[in-house]
């Protein structure tokens, strides 16, 4: 049996590679780009997660954190916890900050953090001036704001800002805080001392107040968790967090984003694979004389194939190593951006597992496309050397290489699904990709089948085009496949990009309210409505009662014991939610299952968001236990509603029956849409209602679009890379076709057929393939982009015909230009070299 | 003299879409070691097909090819490749050197695949004898037709094969080069005691061989 590795064969491979690398530049280029992109994504994901894990205590702010939600910690409990170490207590709540008490004051909806002298237990606060945090503790009623507020309000140190009409002296601004709190990540915030906070005399039902206690252990080596858990059992409304859970949301975001980008990059790699197959088959066709000579000299087909495999896998090893090393070097460039955005600095590191994944991805993609290509060597006969007739070889499928291709595809899917947080999406993605491939391949075969039946064409260029397509050695299926995949990917990314852009640029919907108002006390509700009506008698005001509730049991079982954090609706269980009640179902929340509340039934009835019910496996009539004001009440799910949180109206995951809720102490949330928005003065409103916080919808949307814009930029960068690869692949397919027809063109030239007929024939040939793929590309790209926008990014998808048509036109034009440019030198071949068999 | 090659009633047919083409029809032939045989005949008579069968590049439809007392018509593709590698040298009309190998590499390749040491040195010495000392590191495209064919002959004889098959080796050359090439083939086949089967249209070349066989319509006449 022949040895798998033979140094002599390897030597031939290297010799050939060093002398022929220019002919396979498409392979080098597309393989490098796609492996580089994948390497960047993997390196960044790893570095970010490593940094988050390494700084878990800093991100949490302690060795553990006790969250007592909207109540102060119990003194007894506090004393017991105190023995573990130093406790730093903070209070967070949402409120309004203004720069004056005048009616035209500029306002900010902020998360206010009150800190004690022990804060921060871990890490550092980056502030200006450096001592701003200590000034906070020594200066009465002082405040530090985040940099954006400081710059927007053009504040100077010692200026005054107001919270609930109480003046605070600005002692500086904050660049970053070590504990990236849940709300502080993207929003505006300010920090005051605990003493200053007490001066605010906060007196609400506490729906938006959060008390947190962080502990730094005296002795890090002690096993404290069990003891803390036991102590906390007696306080059901308290929850304990540990460093390993400090940045779950951020990790989830990174997971989702890197999964999406990895799949886009693997698509680019698979399209590059078609380019690799095209280029390699062209390379083999160019070397068919050499291969035939080698066979005549006594080389076996398997030895020659082995030499080609050595060439391609040597190339892959060098390229993947180079791509990975360059990707590591690029991490510091991204780092500058991350420090600014997240306050996290990541380090470049060579991780062997990541390199193996990059190499394996390349290896599997190259194997999938090279197996039928290199097997084509089988078709080259040394007898051609006697006859001087060389037929171009085509992809060669045997049972053995079909089995190997299937094995490589399965391995590739498993490689990406294995460490994916959502393996189902990954598997679906690959499935769709291969369905598109099969559809396009089937389409090409169908076209060839029907064109063969046509024999009445008189127009010479059309006859030439049809002949080229139906030729037994035609590369039409490959052209349709590469062009089709390229167009589908470009169109999908265009639609995804357009929908992102639309979300970024979209104006506030007509029906959306202008303002949200939170923390409206029961006692001031009527006065609040009256004030707004006085301000604008045409104002549309909607008020809803709210109360905090925690979902503690589903069918009498603690959901946290069996529902995992990667569940899409885990957020419902993570902490207390605001719930409301209503006599009638909300207009924009259609009931999908069950019936609205039975007014005569006074026991707890719950109407649940249908998507949440599906994710948490909750059915109609299931029992849910809600903890409201520390008391656990069991209720029954009586209806499911379709809730769309994107419509900017008041939406609740859970609504309960008014007959049950009637006597629960509550506050209100309200929305208002004004006829004349400029007439509403936030400053004046806050003078009157200092405890009510206002959120201007346009400001809120600004923050959301800022985040979407960042995602959009990343998608566009990855898309551009995929576009370049797509065009390179299309171009390589065109070159392959043109090179194959050079001998034929020579004969035509000798026979007197002019170049314009040949040019027209190649345009017709292109149009037949391009027009046939448009329909399939459009259908699949609509499906893919819809799934990405609606299912992954939870945004609104819409079809954009003008841009999509423009993209099709653009691809068509660019491709036809590429065809004409590439065909140019092959359309008028020089007779002499060909006659001499050079 | 000992028999090297024996063709026993061999047939070669090609199937086309609608018909069966009989290319070789019941050829019997015996060639001894060190014997020179000229194969002559008109275009399309089956000369080249016969060479391809002997080289193991085509499979006989029926009949036997005995090479050194072994029936090679039953050999697999790999066994035939191995036989060519060790015992058969082929010279083509269109030279057919590997384009991206130098003259030296084209010749030494045969020794390397047979795992013979000092392949480059031995190849350089032979090319020197062929008057190509200054052309060792030239690629085929940098050589004239005569030089290319000399390299091709060097490649075919470097391993002292039992059998050399030459398909109109001077067909693409001028008379001077043609003469030189044929002289080289005769000289080295004799020196190595190799049998030579030479396909030619040139009667003067054919006459220099030990035996002349003429093929017409796939049969030896």
What DSSP string runs through A513-574?
-SEEEEEEEGGGHHHHHHHHHHH-TT-EEEEEEEEEEEEEEETTB-GGGTS-TTSTTTHHHH
Q: Which of A176, A211, A245 is where one domain is finished?
A: A245
Give CA–CA dist A384/A381, Å, rounded: 6
Residues in chain A: 838
Any idea which of A39-53, A455-469, A627-641, A746-760 has the lowest mean pLDDT? Answer: A746-760
Q: What is the pLDDT of residues B83-134, one digit of tens each?
A: 999 999 999 998 899 988 999 999 999 999 899 999 999 999 999 999 999 9
Any idea which of A557-561, A708-712, A787-791 has the lowest mean pLDDT? Answer: A708-712
Position A787 in a domain: yes
Q: State how many domains chain A has.
A: 4
Count CB neighbours of A756 within 10 A: 10
Disruptive mutation site among A6, A296, A379, A836 for chain B (greatest number of B CBs within 10 Å): A296
Q: What is the pLDDT of residues A444-453, one digit of tens each?
A: 999 999 988 8
Position A93 in a domain: yes
Answer yes or no: do B85 and A299 touch at CB < 8 A: yes
B28 touches B220 (CB < 8 A): yes
Disruptive mutation site among A383, A386, A837, A838 for chain B (greatest number of B CBs within 10 Å): A386
Answer yes or no: do A299 and B90 touch at CB < 8 A: no
Task: Tell me the mean pLDDT in the region A45-60.
Answer: 79
Count CB neighbours of A455 within 10 A: 8
Does residue A160 register a pLDDT over 70? Answer: yes
HSE-up (13 A, CA, CB side) for residue A93:
29
Res. A828 pLDDT band, cuts 50 70 90:
low
Assign domain B34-59+77-220 to a CATH class. alpha beta
**B195 by DSSP, 3-state: which?**
strand
Res. A836 pLDDT band, cuts 50 70 90:
very low
Q: Tell me the chain B residues in contact with residue A381 when contact means C-beta distances shorter than 8 Å.
A: 57
A687 touches A582 (CB < 8 A): no
Task: Tell me the mean pLDDT in the region B163-177.
Answer: 89
**Closest CB to B96 among A19, A385, A838:** A385
Residues A291, A352 share a domain: yes
Residues A586, A638 share a domain: yes
Q: How far is CA A793 from the centre of its chain?
A: 7
Residues A226, A96 share a domain: yes
**Closest CB to B52 among A15, A386, A837:** A386
**B97 by DSSP, 3-state: which?**
coil
Residues A253, A216 share a domain: no
Q: Which of A245, A271, A286 is where one domain is finished?
A: A245
**Residue A556 falls in which region: left (phi positive, over 0), alpha (psi -120 to 50) or beta:** left
Please tell me if residue A21 touches chain B, with a CB cutoff of 8 Å: no
Q: Tell me the chain A residues in contact with residue B52 when contact means C-beta distances shorter than 8 Å.
A: 383, 386
The tokens for A33 are 């780009």
Q: Tell me the chain A residues in contact with residue B90 when contact means C-beta distances shorter than 8 Å.
A: 296-297
Position A311 in a domain: yes
Res. A6 pLDDT band, cuts 50 70 90:
confident
Separation of first and last alpha carbons in chain A: 37
Q: What is the pLDDT of residues B52-73, one digit of tens each?
A: 999 998 899 999 999 999 999 9
A485 touches A440 (CB < 8 A): yes
Q: Tell me the chain B residues in contact with residue A838 when contact means C-beta distances shorter than 8 Å.
A: 141
Position A729 in a domain: yes
**B19 by DSSP, 3-state: which?**
coil
- By CA distance, what is A18's nearest residue in B? B100
- Residue A727 sits in which domain range? 448-510+699-838
Q: Which one-letter DSSP state was computed for residue B131?
A: T
Domain ranges of chain B: 34-59+77-220
Answer yes or no: do B113 and A298 touch at CB < 8 A: yes
Q: What is the pLDDT of residues B30-54, one digit of tens each?
A: 999 999 999 999 988 999 999 999 9
Does residue A407 register a pLDDT over 90? Answer: yes
What DSSP string runs through A155-176?
--TT-EEEETTEEEEEEEEEEE
Is 0.85 exceeded by the ipTM?
yes
Q: Which one-letter DSSP state was computed for residue A123?
A: S
- By CA distance, what is A12's nearest residue in B? B109
The tokens for B171 are 């067909």
Task: Tell me the mean pLDDT in the region A200-206.
Answer: 60
Task: Tell me the mean pLDDT in the region B74-89.
Answer: 92
Any idea which of A297-301, A586-590, A794-798, B201-205 has the lowest mean pLDDT? Answer: A794-798
Q: What is the pLDDT of residue A420?
A: 78
Residues A84, A214 share a domain: yes
Res. A206 pLDDT band, cuts 50 70 90:
very low
Q: Report, in this order, helix, strand and coil percent for chain B, each rounded to 5.
A: 40, 30, 35
Does residue A679 register a pLDDT over 80? Answer: no
Give CA–CA dist A390/B96, Å, rounded: 13
Q: What is the pLDDT of residue A184?
A: 45
Residues A341, A273 share a domain: yes
Residues A266, A230 share a domain: no
Q: What is the pLDDT of residue A292?
A: 93
CB-count burial class (<10 Å; 0-12, 13-18, 19+) for A513: buried
Give CA–CA dist A778/A767, Å, rounded: 16
Residues A196, A66 share a domain: yes
Q: Tell me the chain B residues in contact with residue A15 when contact means C-beta distances shorter than 8 Å.
A: 101, 105
* A432 compared with A56, residue with greater pLDDT: A432
Minimal CA separation from B99 to chain A, in Å: 7
A130 touches A136 (CB < 8 A): no
Minimal CA separation from B210 to chain A, in Å: 24
The average confidence (pLDDT) of chain A is: 82
Task: Tell me the mean pLDDT in the region A650-675.
Answer: 86
Position A533 in a domain: no
Give CA–CA dist A123/A140, Å, rounded: 25
Position A217 in a domain: yes
Q: Residues of A numbered 259-278 whose beta carbons fall under 8 angstroms of chain B's beta carbons: which are they? A: none
Q: Which of A296, A283, A305, A482 is nearest to A386 (CA)?
A: A296
Answer yes or no: do B141 and A293 touch at CB < 8 A: no
Answer yes or no: do B77 and A289 touch at CB < 8 A: no
Answer yes or no: do B100 and A382 touch at CB < 8 A: no
* A454 compared with A555, residue with greater pLDDT: A555
Q: Residues of A numbered 371-390 whose beta carbons fall under 8 angstroms of chain B's beta carbons: which are they? A: 381-383, 385-388
Q: What's the CA angle centered on B120, arms B119 and B124, to 5 degrees? A: 120
**Closest CB to B81 among A289, A295, A837:** A295
Residues A241, A251 share a domain: no
Q: What is the pLDDT of residue A647?
A: 63
Residues A52, A96 share a domain: no
**Closest CB to B81 among A300, A386, A838:** A300
Q: How far is CA A192 from the centre of its chain?
A: 36
Q: Which of A73, A81, A112 is nearest to A96 (CA)?
A: A112
**Closest CB to A16 among B84, B94, B100:** B100
The proportion of chain A whose per-residue pLDDT surpasses 90, expressed as a percent, equals 20
Position A453 in a domain: yes
Please tell me if residue A296 touches chain B, with a CB cutoff of 8 Å: yes
Res. A291 pLDDT band, cuts 50 70 90:
very high
The proportion of chain A whose per-residue pLDDT surpasses 70, expressed as a percent, equals 86
A604 touches A626 (CB < 8 A): yes
Strands A64-69 and A239-241: antiparallel
Q: What is the pLDDT of residues A607-618, one digit of tens each?
A: 999 999 999 999
Q: What is the pLDDT of residues A229-238, one digit of tens each?
A: 888 888 877 8
The tokens for A449 are 């089948």
Please tell me if residue A20 touches chain B, with a CB cutoff of 8 Å: yes
Q: Tell me the chain A residues in contact with residue B98 when contact means C-beta distances shorter than 8 Å.
A: 289-290, 293-294
């Amino acid at each position: 049996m022949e040895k798998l590795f033979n140094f002599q064969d390897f030597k031939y491979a290297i010799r050939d590679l060093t002398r022929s690398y220019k002919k396979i530049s498409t392979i080098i280029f597309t393989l490098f780009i796609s492996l580089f992109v994948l390497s960047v994504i993997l390196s960044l994901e790893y570095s970010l997660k490593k940094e988050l894990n390494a700084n878990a205590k800093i991100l949490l702010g302690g060795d553990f954190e006790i969250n007592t939600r909207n109540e102060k910690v119990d003194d007894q409990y506090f004393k017991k916890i105190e023995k573990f170490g130093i406790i730093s207590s903070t209070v967070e709540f949402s409120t309004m900050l203004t720069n004056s008490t005048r009616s035209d004051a500029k306002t900010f909806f902020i998360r206010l953090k009150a800190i004690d002298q022990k804060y921060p237990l871990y890490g550092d606060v980056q502030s200006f001036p450096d001592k701003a945090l200590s000034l906070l503790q020594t200066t009465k009623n002082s405040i530090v704001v985040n940099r954006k507020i400081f710059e927007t309000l053009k504040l100077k140190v010692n200026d005054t800002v107001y919270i609930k009409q109480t003046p605070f002296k600005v002692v500086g601004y904050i660049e970053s805080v070590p504990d990236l709190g849940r709300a502080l990540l993207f929003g505006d915030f300010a920090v005051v001392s605990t003493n200053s906070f007490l001066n605010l005399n906060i007196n609400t039902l506490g729906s938006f107040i959060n008390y947190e206690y962080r502990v730094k252990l005296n002795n890090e080596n002690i096993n404290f968790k069990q003891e803390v858990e036991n102590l906390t059992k007696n306080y059901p409304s308290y929850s304990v967090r540990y460093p390993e859970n400090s940045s779950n949301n951020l990790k989830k975001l990174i997971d989702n984003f890197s999964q999406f980008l990895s799949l886009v990059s693997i698509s680019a790699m698979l399209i590059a694979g078609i380019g690799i197959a095209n280029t390699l088959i062209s390379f083999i066709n160019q070397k068919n004389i050499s291969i035939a000579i080698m066979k005549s000299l006594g080389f076996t087909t398997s030895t020659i194939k082995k030499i080609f495999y050595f060439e391609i896998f040597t190339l892959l090893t060098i390229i993947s190593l180079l791509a990975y090393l360059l990707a590591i070097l690029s991490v510091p460039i991204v780092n500058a951006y991350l420090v600014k955005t997240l306050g996290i600095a990541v380090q470049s590191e060579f991780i062997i597992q990541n390199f193996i994944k990059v190499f394996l991805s390349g290896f599997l993609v190259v194997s999938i496309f090279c197996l039928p290509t290199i097997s084509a060597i089988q078709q080259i006969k040394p007898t051609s050397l006697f006859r001087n007739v060389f037929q171009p070889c085509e992809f060669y499928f045997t049972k053995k290489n079909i089995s190997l291709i299937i094995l490589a595809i399965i391995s590739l899917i498993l490689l990406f699904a294995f460490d994916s947080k959502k393996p189902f999406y990954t598997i679906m993605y690959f499935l769709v990709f291969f369905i598109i491939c099969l559809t396009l391949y089937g389409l090409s075969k169908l076209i060839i089948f029907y064109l063969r039946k046509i024999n009445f064409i008189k127009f010479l260029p059309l006859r030439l085009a049809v002949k080229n397509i139906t030729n037994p050695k035609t590369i039409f299926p490959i052209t349709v496949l590469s062009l089709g995949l390229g167009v589908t990917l470009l169109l999908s990314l265009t639609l995804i990009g357009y929908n992102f852009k639309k979300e970024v640029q979209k104006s506030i919907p007509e029906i959306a309210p202008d303002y949200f108002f939170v923390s409206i006390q029961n006692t001031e509700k009527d006065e609040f409505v009256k004030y707004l009506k006085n301000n604008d008698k045409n104002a549309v005001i909607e008020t809803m009662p709210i109360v905090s509730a925690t979902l503690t049991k589903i069918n009498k079982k603690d959901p946290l014991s069996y529902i995992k954090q990667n569940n899409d609706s885990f957020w419902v269980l993570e902490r207390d939610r605001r719930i409301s009640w209503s006599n009638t179902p909300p207009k924009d929340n259609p009931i999908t299952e069950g019936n609205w509340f039975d007014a005569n039934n006074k026991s707890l009835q719950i109407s649940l968001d249908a998507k949440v019910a599906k994710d948490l496996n909750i059915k109609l009539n299931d029992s849910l236990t809600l903890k409201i004001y520390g008391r656990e009440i069991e209720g029954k799910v009586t209806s499911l509603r379709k809730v769309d949180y994107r419509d900017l109206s008041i939406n609740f995951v859970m609504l309960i029956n008014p007959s049950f809720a009637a006597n629960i102490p509550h506050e209100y949330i309200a929305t208002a849409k004004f006829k004349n928005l400029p007439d509403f003065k936030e400053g004046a409103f806050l003078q009157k209602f200092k405890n009510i916080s206002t959120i201007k919808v346009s400001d809120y949307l600004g923050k959301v679009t800022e985040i979407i814009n960042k995602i959009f930029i990343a998608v566009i960068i990855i898309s551009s890379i995929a576009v370049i690869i797509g065009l390179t692949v299309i171009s390589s397919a065109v070159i392959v076709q043109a090179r194959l027809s050079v001998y034929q063109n020579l004969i035509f030239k000798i026979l007197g057929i002019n170049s314009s007929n040949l040019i027209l024939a190649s345009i017709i040939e292109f149009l037949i393939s391009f027009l046939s793929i448009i329909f399939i590309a459009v259908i699949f790209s609509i499906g893919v982009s819809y799934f990405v926008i609606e299912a992954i990014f939870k945004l609104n998808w819409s079809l954009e015909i003008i841009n999509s048509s423009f993209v099709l036109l653009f691809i068509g034009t660019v491709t036809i230009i590429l065809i004409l440019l590439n065909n140019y030198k092959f359309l008028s071949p020089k007779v002499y070299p060909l006659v001499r068999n050079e | 003299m000992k028999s090297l090659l024996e063709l026993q009633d061999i047939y070669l047919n090609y199937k086309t879409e609608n018909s069966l083409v009989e290319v070789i029809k019941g050829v019997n032939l015996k060639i001894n070691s060190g014997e020179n045989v000229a194969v002559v005949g008109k275009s399309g008579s089956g000369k080249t097909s016969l060479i391809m069968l002997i080289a193991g590049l085509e499979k006989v439809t029926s009949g036997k090819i005995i090479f050194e007392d072994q029936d090679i018509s039953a050999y697999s593709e790999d066994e035939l490749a191995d036989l060519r590698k060790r015992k058969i040298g082929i010279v083509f009309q269109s030279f057919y050197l590997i384009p991206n190998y130098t003259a030296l590499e084209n010749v030494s390749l045969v020794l390397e695949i047979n795992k013979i040491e000092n392949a480059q040195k031995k190849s350089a010495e032979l090319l020197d004898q062929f008057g190509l000392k200054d052309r060792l590191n030239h690629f085929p495209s940098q050589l004239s037709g005569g030089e290319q064919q000399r390299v091709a002959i060097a490649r075919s004889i470097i391993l002292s094969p039992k059998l050399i098959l030459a398909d109109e080796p001077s067909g693409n050359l001028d008379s001077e080069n043609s003469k030189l090439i044929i002289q080289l083939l005769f000289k080295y086949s004799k020196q190595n005691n190799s049998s030579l089967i030479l396909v030619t249209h040139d009667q003067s070349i054919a006459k220099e061989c030990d035996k002349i066989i003429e093929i017409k319509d796939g049969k030896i006449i």
